[in-house]
Amino acid sequence: MSAFTDHIAELRRRWSGALASAGLDVAVVAAGTSRPYFLDDQSPPYRPNPHFAQWLAGAECPNSLLLVRRNGPVTLYFHQVEDYWHLPPATPDLDDAVAVETFDSIDAMTTAVAREVERFNRTAFVGEVETPGSNLPFGEVNPPLLLNALHYGRARKTPFEIACMRRATEIAVAGHVAAVAAFRAGASEFEIHQAYLSASQQTESSLPYSSIVALNEHAGVLHYQHYDRNSPAVRKSFLIDAGGRYRGYAADVTRTYAAQSDAFAALIDALDAEQLAIIDTIRAGMSYVDLHDAMHRSIAGILSNLGLVTCSAEAAYQQRITDAFFPHGIGHLIGLQTHDVGGHLASPEGGTRAPPERYPALRLTRAIETGQVFTVEPGIYFIPMLLRQLRPSAAGNDVAWSEVDALMGHGGIRIEDNVLITEDGVENLTREAFAGASSAT
């Protein structure tokens, strides 16, 4: 059997259990459709329903429907019409793991689905409302019991999914290598972004998320969204947060570089070492919240060792000085979505495990389990808004403001790897991809 066939077999097992837990016999999963902007005939890039995409492995199937039976085969009702305005979607190659019925009419397709659904007593629709199939007489629409079980299970990746994410990481790293070369050559943010797209062979619409390409103080804007066409007169730093996508699965990679061998470069090296050190501690059964908290302690040590605070590392942690320098979570689940769902779920049945009061931005609060893939992305930033709040406080008295002020124009640092949790510990997909890129040059 192929890895994809095994993947489908695992999805059938998960869906059968989830449907049973929700008291359902069958679910119809809508791929979704592309809708135009308000008062326009142009549409944003199409992104399929991730519940649909997990079965189709990146195949483009807008308007199509997937019928998942609790017991029995899975059937794709594939919408494909002749068109000279746009290239019609190709019939997906599903390795005989999913039955395919093709329709050139949405009405005929939904009629066929309705006829099949009528055979079952307990039915559900999964997807966006106002898309093909959503107006059929389903018993439930997006039932929480079903979705909670599916979202919780998606954190554990199948071997097929891991292979896709490994390839997505290699695609991203090819772009990163070209981007840093462009930075060293004096390129602007816009030119660096173009170099990234070319080297990773991606278009804007195929990226898993909009790339962050930030020079100097722009690196202190966590989701910086512009690409300056002009290069700054003085180049201090470069942060790039840019990913890759393969068969629907995402990679999310961030690196930061200094223009000179200076105090900022030393700070990058220190954070890089601590990021690798904390990854080495990861084991199944650990709490992700504890991992995040341990990273704050590590950052407190960096701030103390490099003279950015005048107190001890423990005092910097206890006074929450690190919160101003590291205001986001250490990472998130990743897979079909860059920020994959289920990070706060308490169990497959539902309920949430909220982030602790100190770390409200933490996207992942679950225990770490074998098969999970998530990011580890600590940062140290010089964000004027946060530092203005810290400066007049009691804790601000323990900050070496002259040293901090000297680094303000560099924006900040983020280093992000995607890691797979294994029985023996952790596999760093990102570092492996960078090592492979280095050996190929």
Mean pLDDT estimate for the chain: 96
Q: What is the pLDDT of residues 34-44, one digit of tens each?
A: 889 999 999 99
Q: CB burial class (10 A; 0-12, 13-18, 19+) of residue 139? A: middle
User: Which of 52-66, 89-103, 197-211 tops mean pLDDT?
Assistant: 197-211
Q: What is the pLDDT of residues 165-179, one digit of tens each?
A: 999 999 999 999 999
Which CATH code fits 3-153?
A: 3.40.350.10
Closest-CA residue to 363 (of 384, 377, 344, 386): 344
- Contact assessment for residue 129 and residue 141, using Cβ atoms and an 8 Å cutoff: yes
DSSP letter, residue 301: H
pLDDT band at 441 (very low <50, low <70, confident <90, very high): low
pLDDT band at 59 (very low <50, low <70, confident <90, very high): confident
- Contact assessment for residue 123 and residue 143, using Cβ atoms and an 8 Å cutoff: no
- Contact assessment for residue 188 and residue 228, using Cβ atoms and an 8 Å cutoff: yes
pLDDT band at 438 (very low <50, low <70, confident <90, very high): confident
**Which tokens in the block code for residue 230?**
């002009």
**Is the model's pLDDT at 439 over the cut of 80?**
no
**Which tokens in the block code for residue 72?**
């029995």
For 259-391, where are the E strands, in sequence order?
373-376, 379-381
pLDDT band at 132 (very low <50, low <70, confident <90, very high): confident
CA-derived radius of gyration, the chain = 24
Element (H, E) at 255: strand 249-258
| CATH class of this structure's domain 159-440 | alpha beta
Closest-CA residue to 441 (of 174, 218, 171): 174
Closest-CA residue to 19 (of 168, 123, 135, 133): 123
pLDDT of amino acid 363 = 97
DSSP letter, residue 112: H
Q: Any bridge partners for residue 103, and if so which? A: 79
Cα separation, 184 vs 82, whole angstroms: 48
Cα separation, 77 vs 414, whole angstroms: 44
Per-domain residue ranges of the chain: 3-153, 159-440
pLDDT of amino acid 93 = 86
Q: In Å, what is the CA distance from 3 to each residue of 10, 69, 167, 250, 408?
A: 11, 22, 14, 18, 49
Q: CB burial class (10 A; 0-12, 13-18, 19+) of residue 41? A: exposed
Cα separation, 192 vs 20, whole angstroms: 50
Instruction: Name the residue with tokens 């195949």.
Output: 59
User: Which of 2-6, 84-88, 293-297 tops mean pLDDT?
Assistant: 293-297
- Contact assessment for residue 242 and residue 179, using Cβ atoms and an 8 Å cutoff: yes
Cα separation, 374 vs 155, whole angstroms: 9
Cα separation, 75 vs 292, whole angstroms: 42
pLDDT of amino acid 133 = 80
Closest-CA residue to 322 (of 377, 387, 262, 388): 387
Q: What is the pLDDT of residues 322-332, one digit of tens each?
A: 999 999 999 99
Lowest mean pLDDT among 132-136, 187-191, 292-296, 331-335: 132-136
Lowest mean pLDDT among 78-82, 94-98, 114-118, 340-344: 94-98
pLDDT band at 96 (very low <50, low <70, confident <90, very high): confident
For 179-236, where are the E strands, in sequence order?
212-215
pLDDT band at 60 (very low <50, low <70, confident <90, very high): confident
Cα separation, 48 vs 205, whole angstroms: 13
Query: Which sign does the torsion angle of CA 195, 201, 207, 208 carry?
Result: negative
Q: What is the pLDDT of residues 318-358, one digit of tens each?
A: 999 999 999 999 999 999 999 999 999 999 999 999 999 99
CA-angle at 8, arms to 202 and 76, nearest 5°? 80
**Is the model's pLDDT at 398 over the cut of 80?**
yes
What percent of the chain is modeled with pLDDT above 90?
90
pLDDT of amino acid 385 = 97
pLDDT band at 234 (very low <50, low <70, confident <90, very high): very high
Closest-CA residue to 247 (of 173, 175, 164): 164
User: How would you list the strands of the sheet with 425-428, edge to edge?
Assistant: 373-376, 417-422, 425-428
Single-letter amino acid, residue 426: V
pLDDT of amino acid 172 = 98
pTM, to two decimals: 0.95
Q: What is the pLDDT of residues 365-393, one digit of tens each?
A: 999 999 999 999 999 999 999 999 999 99
Instruction: Name the residue with tokens 């002009």.
Output: 230
pLDDT band at 189 (very low <50, low <70, confident <90, very high): very high
pLDDT band at 8 (very low <50, low <70, confident <90, very high): very high
b/e string for 269-308 if b means 16 or more Cβ within 10 A? ebbeebbeebbeebebeeebbebbbbbbbbbbbbbbebeb
Return the number of other C-beta atoms located less than 10 Å from residue 378's C-beta.
24
DSSP letter, residue 363: -
pLDDT band at 94 (very low <50, low <70, confident <90, very high): confident
